[in-house]
Structure 1
Amino acid sequence: MEINPAVTFKHDRSIMYAKRPKVLIVGAGIGGLTLGILLHKANIPFEIYERAAEVKPLGSAVYFNCTTANFFKQCGIYDEFVSLGKHVSSIQMCNEDREVKFSIDFDNHEKEFGANNYIIPRPQLIDLLLRQLPKERVHLGKKVFSMEQGGNGVLIRFSDASEAEGDILVGADGAYSAVRQGLYAKMKKAKKLPTSDGLPLPSSTVCLVAQTRPLTSDEFPDMTLERCQFRNTISHEKMYTWTTFTTAQNTICWVALLFLDEKIGKTNDTFLNSEWGPEAASAMCEEIKDFPIISGGDKILRLQDLMDRTPKEQISKAMLEEKVFKTWYDCRTVLIGDACHKFNPYGGVGATNAMHDAIVLANRINGLPFHPIAEEIEDAFKAYKEERFHWAQSAYETSRVHRAMVGQSTASKCSRYAVKHIPAWLFKRIQARAFSYRPQVAFLPFVEDTGRVKRAPQASLYVKAPVESEKAVSSHTLKCWIINIGNLMGRL
């Protein structure tokens, strides 16, 4: 396949058969799978390529707020999603003495924004998304070696010497995206890359995540409670914060967060790990094993008690970065999710924003004409970024506030004091702004949004597929023809 932006030919769609662009998605995480599901429903050809040789049950819990409910409802899997998740109505802020100092409550979200918030274990979520896709469309063990793009299409070469060709390349492959790195290298060489996008990812924290086996109420009494017990425990002096969540599967998802000082975060690669893997977890487990946790019963439990009930190969550790990149696309290549904006998980906005990216990008791709040229594709990517960038930047700021709130610095203590004493009217206003963006898929049946707070505008919601546009034009032409015939008959 020749990838040459200088190739010139007459692009006459009138002599071409109707052809939708083929989309190559790199990364089978939340964003990549969501996009694949939507393209599948739109009958747009796609393939998903994942570097991992198998889908591993790594990670802890994923928090979804009301802004993603429309996606699950439009795809017909909302009830199953709810059955796999556990309703979250508050976040408890605790200390090392196992005392709840205060809680952040949001029990009225269904009334205000049309849906509740849920915690769902990441393995269960990935399995739910994978089951919505044809198995033959997801290719494992495909590590990107190189990529090319131009006027005729895109070409990916993998480390196993195989290749893939298409019209659009989507980088959904996480914070250390191979697609982003390949794209940026070429843009930097062409002097098209902003200086800030070429800088290393700044890291503020190191995270240990895991999920226990199913537990009994004797082992963890709070397991019997209907709603998720979401607890952040903040150390008095140690640079650690740890969190536990109860799940619908009777497991405990747990997270330990180590705060790094600014110098280490920018220059030290000791903890660097581009994947959520178990290899580097042992030493950190030893450091945190005696940290106290609240179980809801009389037993005095520590993190060690959760570790003992957690499969060792499922305890993973990773460096956590925070950044919103300026460059999201170029020519036929576009980025979504962590590949273009990375948030600290304590903000609880990473998964939702990856889904929002996928929804808007799917709307824009679905709106492309048959046989789109590179300029038309890039215009669609530009519109995608214009709709999403503001919201991603806002989510980034939110995640930084939440990350700071669970820290040990003076600013963190002030932040917790402010949240604890925030007036109800102000908290309500902040929530209304954050949860007003509830995007929907333009080419699936719309969902009635029952939230009292009005949805924010969504430009991509009104983008039509080329077949829909043709039908509209044909209908208008037929109507004009009938009117003209009527007028002619009247004159006769």
Structure 2
Amino acid sequence: MEINPAVTFKHDRSVMYSKRPRVVIVGAGLGGLTLGMLLHKADIPFDIYERAIEVKPLGKHVSAIKMCNEQRGLEFSIDFEGHEEEFGANGYMITRPALYDLLLRQIPKERIHLGKKALTMDQGGNGVLVRFSDGTEAEGDILVGADGPYSAVRQGIYAKLKKAGTLPPSDMLPLPFSTVCLVGQTRPLTPEEFPDIAQEQCQLRRTIGTDKMYSWSTYNTAQNTVAYFLIQFLTGESSKENDSFKNSEFGPEAVLAMCEEVKDFPVISGGDHKYTMADLFAWTNKEHISKFMLEEKVFKTWYHCRAVLVGDACHKLNPAGGVGPANAVQDAIVLANLINGLPFHPIAEEIKEAFKAYQDERMPWVKDAHKISQSHKTMVGHSLASNAARYVSKHMPTWLFNRIQARAFSYRPQVAFLPLAEDNGRVRPAPQPSMSVKGPVEFEEVTTYTV
């Protein structure tokens, strides 16, 4: 297929690869895999291209976040009891490898291509073309960038918009960051080793450092492991030290150095054991410990022509609020609904309108999620604002907490082309415009007349 950017909106349905648009997904994170799974169920052709050579790898009900101190004492608890009655389902902690495995099982193996680092992209009225570092290419009708905060697809889109003078100034700025995160997960443990393992519910504990610029969290999983993540709050100097790593994962040496720095941090096991982070590291395969920059930004531009962004590629949220993965999945649900609603052999303008509807629906909720992640980051920080945030959370009236929860959990998007989940929550779901989008077959049935 010949791509000619100069004819960006030439309307020619005849050059489509198939009746349904072929979707090229760059990135096999949660957003990319969820979208691939849904497109597969909608019988829409797609391929996923991932730069890594492997996709790195269900849960226990969590009813509270327990805020603790370095003396292993409980300061206060943020409770989530009653979620099933209010919102139709309880919250669960699921490890990322378990969720990845669940999604991968829904996608044909031949649809996922590993070791594919995207270098350049072209798009026009007749389709998209992506070139990879190994010399191969991928062609299709729609390009989805699900390739993380330093998305190659986003860089390709923004380069064209910047050249045309239509990229918002804020989108030109680099990703800001103020924290670094260390994450890991132990091998399966016994209740004798770690008493929390025996608990039916997930014990999510967050500890705030007294005289150190760290907070750290642990929680037990349904696989009898203990997952953990530590957040380091950067100062001006430490931010400069970490700046050179911001475009990629930290290497093994940097991971081990951070482990050494935090090894004596106290850990609560649910029993009398006086564990520290060193014990969790000893129970963990070193390949299962990672160190990442925690960038934070909601971009204004999510699409251009036939290319669109999902997840961290268009909104990078601080993990302190735990809302980043959920929003990537919600992106995929809404985008899948709208791609499925495209007419047969859609033209570029129709694809662009679907992308606009996707961003219009998701943007307000992403901005809310960004505020949530910011508030949680503040709560586990070390500033005066952090102390104030913890005081407010500890003494917040029940009615106000319930009101905040109602807003946060009212958005419960569903897949329009699959059987709907029964929603018996007392708090009704917020409007979901993409749910009303019909597939092309349904559309044709409505508009076909018998003569």
TM-score by length of 2: 0.96
Greater displacement, 406-415 / 260-269: 260-269
Q: Is 1:25–1:172's contact at 8 Å kept on the other side of the alignment?
A: yes
RMSD, aligned α-carbons? 1.8
> Looking at CA atoms only, which structure, 1 or 2, has the larger radius of gyration?
1
Please list every run of 5 or more consecutive structure 2 residues that lacks an aligned counterpart in the other structure.
none
Partner of 1:165: 139
Distance 1:467 1:412, change over 3 A: same
State the 4+ residue runs in structure 1 displaced beyond 3 angstroms. Answer: 5-13, 15-18, 262-268, 275-279
Q: Distance in 2 between matches of 1:450 and 1:335?
A: 32
Task: Answer yes or no: is 1:364 the counterpart of 2:333.
Answer: no
| TM-aligned CA distance change 1:473 to 1:277, over 3 Å | farther
Q: Do the aligned residues in 2 keep the contact of 1:143 with 1:158 (CA within 8 Å)?
A: yes
Cα pair distance change 1:452/1:314, threshold 3 Å? same
Inter-CA distance 230–276: structure 2 relative to 1 (3 Å threshold): farther
Superposition deviation, residue 190 in structure 1: 1.6
Matched, 1:441 2:415: yes
Q: How does 1:49-448 map to 2 (within 5 A)?
A: 49-57=49-57, 84-261=58-235, 265=239, 269-275=243-249, 278-448=252-422
Quote how far apart the aligned CAs of 1:268 are.
5.2
Q: TM-score by structure 1 length?
A: 0.88
Post-superposition offset of 1:6:
4.3
Asked if 1:455 corresponds to 2:429, the answer is: yes
Report the Cα offset of residue 275 of structure 1: 3.4
Which residue number in structure 1 is paired with residue 39 of structure 2? Answer: 39
Query: How far apart, in 2, do the equivalents of 1:409 and 1:87 lie?
Result: 32
Between 184-193 and 42-51, report the one with greater CA deviation: 184-193
C-alpha separation in 1, matches of 2:135 and 2:13:
35
Change (3 A) 1:411 1:449: same
SS of 1:358's equivalent?
helix
Unmatched runs of 5 consecutive residues or more in structure 1: 58-83, 482-492
Rate the CA distance shift 1:251–1:88 in 2: closer, same or farther, 3 A: same
User: SS of the residue aligned with 2:243?
Assistant: coil
Other structure's SS at 2:38 match: helix
- Paired position in structure 2 for 1:464: 438
- Aligned pair in 2 of structure 1 residues 89, 30: CA closer, same or farther (>3 Å)? same
C-alpha distance in structure 2 between counterparts of 1:325 and 1:299, whole Å = 45
- Give, in whole Å, the separation in 2 of the partners of 1:286 and 1:268: 17
Query: Does the 8 Å CA contact 1:153/1:332 hold for their aligned counterparts?
Result: yes
Percent identical among aligned pairs is: 67
The question of whether the paired residues in 2 share the 8 Å contact of 1:278 and 1:314 is answered with no
- Please give the secondary structure, in 2, of the residue aligned with 1:293: coil
Secondary structure at 2:264 match in 1: coil
3-state SS, counterpart of residue 397 of structure 1: helix
Structure 1 residue 217, shift from structure 2 partner:
1.1
